[in-house]
Amino acid sequence: MKFLDQAKIYVRSGDGGDGVTAFRREKYIEFGGPDGGNGGRGGDIIFEAVPNLNTLIDFRYTQHFRARKGGNGAGSDRTGAAAQAVVIKVPIGTQIMDDDRETLLADLDEAGKRITLCRGGDGGFGNANYKSSTNRAPRRSDKGWPGEERWVWLRLKLIADVGLVGMPNAGKSTFLSVVSAARPKIADYPFTTLHPQLGVVRLSMTEEFVIADIPGLIEGAHEGTGLGTRFLGHVERCAVLLHLVDGAAGNVVDTWRTIRHELEEYGGGLAEKPEIIALNKNDAMTPQEASARRRALEKASGAPVVLISAATHQGVPELLRTIQNKVTAIRQEERDNAS
């Protein structure tokens, strides 16, 4: 299945049914009077977040969604049938943006969350509604109210606990494949990851977290260089950032500063998120190189640096335990603040 995290679609709710002008005419019934019924309500456009979707690929092939019109009224005071709502199912974490791509209309960040984006038009009144003591035979009936229509953008932001960031070829895909059942593409050239990957890390029967690997960032990504910062939205909801630095590249401090600069330029609160720094590819460095580069990175970042090798699994279990403890503490704090 292809990954698609943005889509533009057109939605239109149904028009209301028309009211009718009718009079009761039956044998032996004198002064039958008006009995035109009201029109039915048009169908709504509803978005619902469901847990079994993880891409917006369906909206590449279907971009127009229209609800049906409400039924027209009829004689004998019969009201037209209300049209069924059109329920559009989207992945959890989908944001609905206005056509300007800036105004947020809804954020479906929980399973089962629903939003009525376009309300169906109300049905028009039949002439029976206008009967009064002074107007015994009204001939007025109304058309149904029109529905609402708009173009909207759907933007998917994956729900993950840990966001995996770093330069291309830092070993992010290898790390994800080692700690989870995910099988991303792994190769010895940059930008092997072209779209975000999710992996579930299980440390025990009761402890697990979701990690999101996004395509690598390079200098100037906030200006569109490389793959740009398009996929950084997928780590906006993360509790922790895991910054993987390629220790074998040598210039570890410059590499770390480059990614930090891109996170700050992107905004979205990413630069303020807790960061765990891991110096990867320890197996490709001598002990002296690993020690020197680790100290330099700790001095520049002001934070402890974990030395690991994703290929040989060295230091990975200890790193996962650190991540789990951090994620658990942050999620608990969020729950306490919400209550």
Residues making up the binding site for Mg(2+):
173, 193
**Residue 154 φ then ψ, to 5°:** -100, 130
Long-range contacts at 135-140 (CB < 8 A, ≥ 24 apart): 136/33, 137/23, 137/33, 137/34, 138/34, 139/21, 140/21
Using an 8 Å Cβ cutoff, are 68 and 43 in contact?
A: yes
Beta bridge partners of 48: 89, 114
Unique residue bearing structure tokens 């306490």: 336
Distant-in-sequence, close-in-space partners of 238: CB < 8 Å, separation ≥ 6: 160, 161, 162, 163, 212, 273
* Token digits of residue 307: 């030395």
Q: How far is CA 39 from CA 74, 75, 217, 219, in A?
A: 8, 11, 57, 61
Using an 8 Å Cβ cutoff, are 167 and 175 in contact?
A: no
Rounded-to-5 percentages of helix, strand, coil across the chain = 25, 25, 50
* Token digits of residue 221: 């990504």
| Residues annotated within a binding site for GTP | 166-173, 191-195, 213-216, 280-283, 309-311
Q: Which residues of 133-160 are buried (b: 16+ CB within 10 A; e: fewer)?
A: eeeeebeebbbbbbbbeeebbbbbbbbb
Count of CA atoms in the C-beta half-sphere (13 A) of 22: 20
- CA-based nearest residue to 319, from 305, 303, 333, 329: 305
Q: How far is CA 133 from CA 22, 76, 138, 210, 284, in A?
A: 18, 20, 11, 69, 95
162-165 and 208-213 strand pairing: parallel
Distant-in-sequence, close-in-space partners of 136: CB < 8 Å, separation ≥ 6: 33
| Residues annotated within a binding site | 166-173, 191-195, 213-216, 280-283, 309-311
